[in-house]
């Protein structure tokens, strides 16, 4: 099993992935350390769900020696735990075994070795790599590099061939006989990819810079709007009443007096009708 620093794990930091790195004693220790924490009572269901994703946890209802021996015969860890200030119970805890390919999950695939995976595949095989359901192959390939080749038995381990190169490169291999031919499945653990903290911080800085640019653009737009309004105000400022002349206020027109007399006669003729 791949090793991690279990000392840093607590009940609060335990999740459905790293829980596969701990053993029964670790669960008992972490629970005991959290017994006096009020957060344990508030989130007990959550913590139990995480633990039960990798362990079978059964309450011992009959606390008698013969019953305890039966649990221990199944390799269970018997431990007394406190649920609250007034309630103590006994648990029978056992790590769930990974024996079949159907036991593999995205949570535990990174916590088994290539040797362990070969054992699981060998226990379940018959038709070869392609006979495994695609959903399970996806899970396996999320944690391991997988490659296969099928060759006549007398050519599989030819000197300088693929088989030899894969072994030198650190791959484990499972050989599946198919008559006079052999399918070789090569398995190697993928390194777990982690995003460097520095890159995360740089991304945050970039986002902050983008936010500032957007705010600056908004300010510029507001400034443009202000200038547009200012142009109207400037036009009003240019309006000067002192520049108005008498011609600007004139509401009559200069005409010839004779034209006015003719117009008056025309009006009089109309009145005759």
**What is the tens place of the pLDDT at every residue in 35-72?**
878 888 788 899 999 999 999 999 999 999 999 999 99
CA distance 108 to 120: 13
pLDDT of 260 strictly over 60: no
pLDDT of 155 strictly over 50: yes
Strand order in the sheet with 181-189: 144-152, 181-189, 172-178
Q: What is the band of 216 on the pLDDT scale with cuts at 50, 70, 90?
A: low
Q: What would the two tokens of residue 91 be?
A: 């648990």
**Residues of the chain above pLDDT 70, percent:** 67
pLDDT at position 194 is 52
Range 175-184 average pLDDT: 93
Q: Which residues contact 31 (CB under 8 A, 6 or more apart)?
A: 11, 40, 79, 81
Is this prediction's pTM over 0.75?
A: no
CA distance 55 to 90: 15
pLDDT at position 84 is 78
Range 7-17 average pLDDT: 87
Average pLDDT, the chain: 78
pLDDT at position 227 is 46
233 or 79, greater pLDDT: 79
Range 106-126 average pLDDT: 91
Q: What would the two tokens of residue 202 be?
A: 């740089």
117 or 41, greater pLDDT: 117
Which residue, 16, 14, 19, 13, is CA-closest to 1?
19
Range 152-174 average pLDDT: 94
pLDDT at position 193 is 63
Range 219-244 average pLDDT: 47
Q: Which of 24-33, 65-74, 80-89, 160-169 shows the lowest mean pLDDT across its residues? A: 80-89
pLDDT of 245 strictly over 50: no
Q: Which of 52-66, 118-132, 220-234 shows the lowest mean pLDDT across its residues? A: 220-234
CA pseudo-torsion sign 128, 134, 139, 143: positive
pLDDT at position 53 is 95
Q: What is the band of 85 on the pLDDT scale with cuts at 50, 70, 90?
A: confident
pLDDT of 251 strictly over 60: no
Instruction: Give the alpha-carbon dihedral of 80, 60, 72, 55, to 10 degrees.
Output: -80
pLDDT at position 37 is 81
**Residues of the chain above pLDDT 90, percent:** 55
pLDDT at position 257 is 46
3-class secondary structure per residue, the chain = CCCCCHHHCCCCCCCCCHHHHCCHHHHHHHHHHHCCCHHHHHCHHHHHHHHHCCEEEEECCCCCHHHHHHHHHCCCEEEEEEEECCEEEEEEEEECCCCCHHHCCCCCHHHCCHHHHHHHHHHHCCCCHHHCCHHHHHHHHHHEEEEEEEEECCCCCCCCCHHHHHHHCCCEEEEEEECCEEEEEEEEECCCCCCCHHHHHHHHHHHHHHHHHHHHHHHHHHHHHHHHHHHHHHHHHHCCHHHCCHHHHCCCCCCCHHHHHHHHHHHHHHHHC
pLDDT at position 86 is 82
């Amino acid at each position: 099993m791949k090793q991690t620093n279990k000392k840093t794990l607590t009940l609060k930091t335990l999740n459905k992935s790293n829980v596969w790195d701990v053993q029964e004693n670790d669960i008992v220790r972490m629970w005991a350390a959290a017994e006096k924490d009020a957060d344990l009572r508030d989130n007990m269901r959550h913590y139990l769900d995480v633990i039960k994703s990798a362990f079978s946890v059964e309450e011992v209802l009959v606390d008698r020696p013969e019953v305890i021996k039966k649990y221990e015969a199944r390799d269970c860890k018997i431990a007394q735990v406190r649920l609250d200030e007034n309630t103590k119970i006994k648990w029978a805890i056992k790590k769930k075994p990974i024996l079949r390919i159907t036991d593999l999950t995205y949570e535990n695939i990174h916590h088994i070795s290539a040797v362990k995976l070969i054992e699981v595949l060998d226990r379940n095989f018959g038709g070869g790599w392609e006979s495994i359901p695609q959903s399970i192959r996806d899970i396996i390939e999320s944690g391991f590099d997988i490659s296969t080749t099928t060759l006549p038995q007398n050519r599989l381990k030819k000197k300088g061939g693929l088989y030899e190169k894969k072994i030198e490169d650190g791959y484990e291999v499972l050989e599946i006989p198919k008559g006079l031919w052999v399918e070789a499945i090569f398995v190697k653990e993928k390194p777990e990819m982690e995003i460097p903290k520095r890159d995360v911080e740089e991304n945050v800085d970039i986002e902050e810079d983008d936010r500032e640019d957007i705010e600056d653009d908004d300010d510029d737009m507001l400034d443009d709007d202000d200038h547009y309004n200012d142009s109207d105000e400037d036009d009003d400022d240019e309006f000067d009443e002192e520049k108005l002349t008498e011609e600007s206020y004139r509401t009559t027109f200069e005409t010839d007096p004779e034209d006015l007399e003719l117009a008056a006669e025309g009006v009089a003729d109309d009145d005759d009708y």
